[in-house]
Amino acid sequence: MSGSPVILGLEAATGVSSVALMHGGQVITRRHDHGRARTDALLSLADELLAEAGVRRSALDAVACGRGPGGFTGVRIGVGVAQGIAMGVGCPVVGLSTLQILAETARAAHPGRQAIAALLDARMGEVYAGCYRVDDAGWTTAVGAEWLADPDTWALPTGDWLGVGSGFARFPALAHRDGLVGCEAGMVPEMHCAMALAAARFAAGEILRPEALEPRYLRDRVAHQTPVGGDG
């Protein structure tokens, strides 16, 4: 395929839902921040973007989606809407971690920052956590696995880390952990910040059939895993 891909992106795993469209090398975006994700709101945002760009759904090359972790309902709705659109069009999907979308949002806001700790409030006294470093290509890459943890067990690999996400708002003491050089508890995952990453994954063939996209809840895995440590 010649030219840049046409990709619709959806992220709904937190209280803020965002939709983005990459078309002609440009990215436009919409967001819904009125509480819990809703299927009709996501579809409406997607249709607004497509209409603004003058793009038919049939022109989509792929649908990118944040697959969690995050709120159960939001993750399920985001994945379901992405699958529905992609199945209707007959295009593949690109699954992205919601924590990595948050890390990409932080990278975009702080271009010089090389290490980002993304924490989301997981309720039940726990956090979803992921650590990311910016690689030579400019993308965030995971340092170890994402995990679900008791905040008291959370520790950072060696380095100077920027902490972002609602986990820090829910547990303010985490902002004082060793290794953190800054914290933005109000930052949320914004899909438009991860569209270049989605396009790179698409170009590399890292795609799925819509029905193969699975939510990532983490809560069905063993909680209180040992956090990543050492030099990463």
Q: Using one digit for the tens of pLDDT, what is the confidence trace for 60-104? A: 999 999 999 999 999 999 999 999 999 999 999 999 999 999 999
120-159 tens-digit pLDDT: 999 999 999 999 999 988 899 999 999 999 999 998 999 9
pTM given for the model: 0.92
- Is the CB of residue 28 less than 8 Å from the CB of residue 207? no
Q: Give the pLDDT score at 20.
A: 98
What are residue 140's DSSP bridge partners? 134
Q: Give the pLDDT score at 33.
A: 82
Closest to 11 measured CA to CA, from 207, 198, 212, 186: 198
The stretch 180-208 carries a mean pLDDT of 97
Q: Where are the alpha helices (DSSP H) in 10-153?
A: 39-53, 72-89, 98-109
User: Where does residue 71 rank: exposed (0-12), middle (13-18), buried (19+ CB within 10 A)?
Assistant: buried
Whether 49 has a pLDDT exceeding 60, the answer reads yes
Whether 28 has a pLDDT exceeding 90, the answer reads yes
Q: Give the pLDDT score at 15.
A: 85
- pLDDT band, residue 220 (cuts 50/70/90): low
Report the distance separating Cα 152 and Cα 96, nearest Å. Answer: 27
- Is the CB of residue 199 less than 8 Å from the CB of residue 7? yes
Domains in the chain: ranges and CATH? 7-97+189-212 (3.30.420.40), 103-184 (3.30.420.40)
- pLDDT band, residue 201 (cuts 50/70/90): very high
The tokens describing 204, both together, are 């590399």
